[in-house]
Structure 1
Amino acid sequence: MSEILVRPMEPDELDSWNEFVAGSPQGSVFHTTAWKHVIENSGEGELAFWGCFEDRMLCGGVVFLERERHGQRTAVTPLLTPYCGLLLDEPAGEKFSDQISRDTRVAAALAGALTDQFSYVNLMNSPALHDVRPLTDAKFELIPRFTYLINLCLPVDELWQRLDGSVRRQIRKAERSDFEVTDNLNVEEGFTLFDSTFTRRGEVNPISRAFFEEIVESERLREKRRIFCAIRAGRLESFIVSLSDNETTYYALAATDEAALGEGVSSYLVWEMIKNQATEGMKTLDFVGANIPSIARFKEGFNPRLQIYFHSQYFSSALLKLGKHFADRIR
């Protein structure tokens, strides 16, 4: 059996990395150099790409944010990054049994490299990472998470009929109002509106203005980004920013003015996004999360499909695990 090597990708290998991500079932915009640029340019840290090589061929990888905490090396998931974690390839024509065997070897090598190099690992894996046994074998804890997916291949009329009646009424209500839908999002107004969604709940916004601005304006994301704004009387009432890659659209950023929540504008913009992305040939809308009850209820009105994915954590010691759990409880 060929030797498997896991190592950081070199700067001159990043084009090959992007090609690998594009062909990986787990690959997304959040695994690419475009997202690496956004993370690093906004001061969020260094997004690491580690490749897994067999016979000098890239056959797997892992994406994470490398940080040092209390003298310990950690590998974690960045903010506003729904998925990172493990990537596997999918060679054309390979037998299913051979593919399973190969995926297991590659995932085990990646998991082993992480546990060898980091005291704490916290990664959100793609929903397309189905076989997580190599992670449990490497002493990772797996927490099931959920997101909602909408099939954008359906005809628009069918997508409309699949919406809950209450959502259709909200959309019609907003259509009767004088909202103007545009793709021109003022960063200052957008960030103020985004920030207000936290302050009205008594929470602190964890997203920096620099990070928000990178997502909204970065040239690296221009081809992947779509913006939907609802403007009324010159005032921003609601917005959505989506990011698309590999025929999937991700619901990346959104906010609505509290005074406009009862006017159906949030549902209206989601419907505009659904129609737009279906027309552009996207196959799936990933609502990015169904884990907060109030947000999940809103998304359920669009009749999506529930999809499981796995949050994986590794602690190098019981003491480190106890400290992490204590810190989470007092946060």
Structure 2
Amino acid sequence: MDISLHNLQSQALPPSTHLRIMTFDANNDLLWNGLVSASPQGSVFLRSDWLDMLRSTDKCGLDFLRIGYFDAKQRLVGGWVLPYRRLGGLRYAAVGFEFFYAGPLLLPELSCPTMHYSKERHTVLSGLAQMMRQETDLAVAETHPSLQDVRDFLYQNWTISPEYTHIWDMLEPDAILARMNREKRREIKRGMEAYQFAHEELHMQNFEEFIVIYQKTMRKFGWYPSSNWRDSLYQRLEWMCSQDGCRLYTARTPSGAMAAAVLVLLSREDQTVYLWRMAHDSDLRDSRVVPALYWWSSFAISQHEPNLRYVNFGGSPLPSLGQFKDYLGAQPIQHFRLIHRRPSVRLGLWRGVDQARDLGRKILAQYPWLDRIRIKGGGI
């Protein structure tokens, strides 16, 4: 259920000396990365170098709007960055962040909803909410699960939609197994006996194997990528793997065929392993391989790096997928989607164009020989 308070008057924007757009330069990047490292909402994906990587590997004009809130001592105590594209003079910050959460960041003392910093926290969040609303025509962002108090966005006329992710706490693997559905425990045990699991260094051959089964996996969710997406993904993977921010874990049959694979993202800032992209060869019709691969890769990472404590499964676009994660003993955790739309005719036209572009991608995916015909302005 979406929640909004459109009949409320927005709070006044804090003095402009506190809020500023942080351009991408060495000084601002240093300040920003410090906030990302300190904030409970921070993840490695929000670091300046990761944002630069996304921008440089995008072929459709992706950029980032980065806002900082500075206190009276000019400390950066809060911030927010969103990806956006421009079309017809409008700024659309609803293109989707590639890596999970891109919500507001707060220093630790402002993140905990206690009375001691209540005024400061509300002032910072209100300022960020209002400035992002003023600077964009359409904005959509998912908050980090650690940010549970989003009242200030309601007061600034944002729409709030509850979302859920699922998380394993690998500090207590026995507790996970105890919560897990009995059949899933059996599938993991038998899957680990039937397949060969490994962390594989990324190269073009296993990337091609991954892409083939990944595209088949995602079609059941109505997702059809453009050709640009595939090329950009490989560039991004090369960079992320070189930073040890991404790894490829595979499950192969005894003959060496890739039965399943998962690309995981490693964010040491929030102690989390993100199960980013899962590919499963549905032709095998084997329910054991995915649970076994999730468990094997998560356990292997936690044994090597105990500080990577949490495994985040991401959202569940289908009820059956959420139930699958429930059966795996993962805890459902609520977070929020923040939505701002500035009413305008041009915004309606843009949304129509975007829907037509998605339809075009589906047609191209169903008829590969048409892939030579590129849709102008198609997203990644």
Q: Same fold (TM over 0.5)?
A: yes
User: What amino acid sits opposite 1:212 in the alignment?
Assistant: L
Shift of 1:286: 1.1
Cα distance in 2 for partners of 1:81, 1:103 equals 25
CA distance in 2: counterparts of 1:102 and 1:220, whole angstroms: 39
Query: Hey, what does 1:49 align to over in structure 2?
Result: 66
Residue 167 (structure 1) aligns with: 184
Task: Name the counterpart of 2:335.
Answer: 309
| Corresponding position: 1:39 with 2:54 | yes
Paired residue type of 1:225: C
* Aligned residue identity for 2:280: T
Moved more, 210-219 or 306-315: 210-219
* TM-score, normalization by structure 1: 0.88
Distance across 2 between alignment mates of 1:320 and 1:25: 37
1:107 aligns with 2:125: yes
| Alignment partner of 1:226 out of 239, 247, 251 | 247
Shift of 1:52: 1.4
1:24 corresponds, among 28, 32, 39, to 39
Partner of 2:210: 190
Hey, what's the Cα distance between the residues in 2 that align with 1:328 and 1:144? 24
| Post-superposition CA distance 1:228-276 (Å, at most 9, x none) | 1112223222111111222111111111111234151111110012212
Kept after mapping to 2: 8 A contact 1:77/1:123:
no
Local SS of the residue matching 1:51 = strand
One-letter amino acid of the counterpart of residue 271, structure 2: E
**Shift of the alpha carbon at 1:325?**
7.7
Identify which of 149, 155, 161 aligns with 1:143.
161
Q: Which of 300, 322, 340 is 1:276 aligned to? A: 300
Q: Mark the CA change 1:178 to 1:112 in structure 2 (over 3 Å): closer, same or farther.
A: closer
Check whether the contact 2:162–2:334 (CA below 8 A) recurs between aligned residues.
yes
> CA separation of 1:247/1:178 partners in 2, compared to 1, >3 Å: closer, same or farther?
closer
Distance in 1 (CA, whole Å) between partners of 2:89 and 2:218 is 31
Aligned partner of 2:263 among 233, 241, 246: 241
Q: Does 1:211 align with 2:229?
A: no
Once residues 327 and 163 of structure 1 are traced to their aligned partners in structure 2, the CA distance between those partners, rounded to angstroms, is 44
Distance 2:329 2:113 in 1: 36
Shift of residue 119, structure 1, vs aligned partner:
1.4
CA distance in 2, matches of 1:27, 1:200: 32
SS at match of 1:85: coil
Query: Which residue in the other structure is 1:265 paired with?
Result: 289
User: Alpha-carbon deviations, 1:264-320, whole Å to 9, x = none?
Assistant: 111111001221232221221111113422322221221111111111111122757
The alignment yields a C-alpha RMSD, in angstroms, of 2.9
For 1:200 and 1:314, locate their aligned partners in 2 and report how far apart those are by CA, in whole Å. Answer: 29
Distance in 2 of aligned mates of 1:87 and 1:285? 21
Is 114-123 or 36-45 further displaced after alignment? 36-45
Q: Using structure 2 for the length normalisation, give the TM-score.
A: 0.78
In 1, the alpha carbon distance for the partners of 2:116 and 2:350 equals: 39
Aligned-pair CA distance for 1:202: 6.1
Post-superposition Cα deviations, 1:190-237, rounded to whole Å, max 9, x if no partner, equal 122212223466641368113321443215763232321112223222
For structure 1, which segment, 73-82 or 250-259, has the greater mean C-alpha deviation from structure 2 after superposition? Answer: 73-82
Q: Where do 5+ consecutive residues of structure 2 fail to align?
A: 1-13, 360-380
More off after superposition, 235-244 vs 194-203: 194-203
- Deviation sequence 1:126-145 (CA, Å, 0-9, x none): 11222211111111111111
Residues 135, 221 of structure 1: alpha-carbon distance in 2 compared, 3 angstrom cutoff: farther
Distance 1:91 1:201 in 2: 40
Where 1:238 maps in the other structure, the secondary structure is: strand
Q: How many residues align?
A: 330
1:118 to 123, 136, 159: 136
- Where does residue 18 of structure 2 map in the other structure? 4
Where structure 1 has 5 or more consecutive residues not aligned to the other structure, the ranges are none
Of stretches 15-24 and 177-186 in structure 1, the one that deviates more from structure 2 is 177-186
Contact persistence 1:122–1:313 (CA under 8 A)? yes
State the percentage of identical aligned residues.
21
Distance (Å, rounded) in 2 between the aligned partners of 1:201 and 1:91? 40
The structure-2 alpha-carbon separation of the partners of 1:162 and 1:100, relative to structure 1 and needing over 3 Å to count, comes to same
One-letter identity of the residue aligned with 2:264: S
Whether the aligned pair in 2 keeps the contact of 1:190 and 1:239 (CA below 8 Å) is: yes
Deviation of 1:189 after TM superposition, in Å, equals: 1.7
Distance 2:283 2:165 in 1: 28
CA-CA distance at 1:34 after TM superposition: 3.8
Q: Is the 8 A contact 1:199 1:205 kept in 2?
A: no
C-alpha separation in 1, matches of 2:240 and 2:198: 22
- Contact preservation (8 Å) 1:144, 1:311: yes
> C-alpha distance in 1, partners of 2:241/2:50?
8
Deviations 1:29-82 (A, max 9, x none): 231224313311321612333221123211111111121134321223535321
1:208 alignment partner, SS class: helix
Q: CA deviation at 1:11?
A: 1.0
Distance 2:87 2:45 in 1: 23
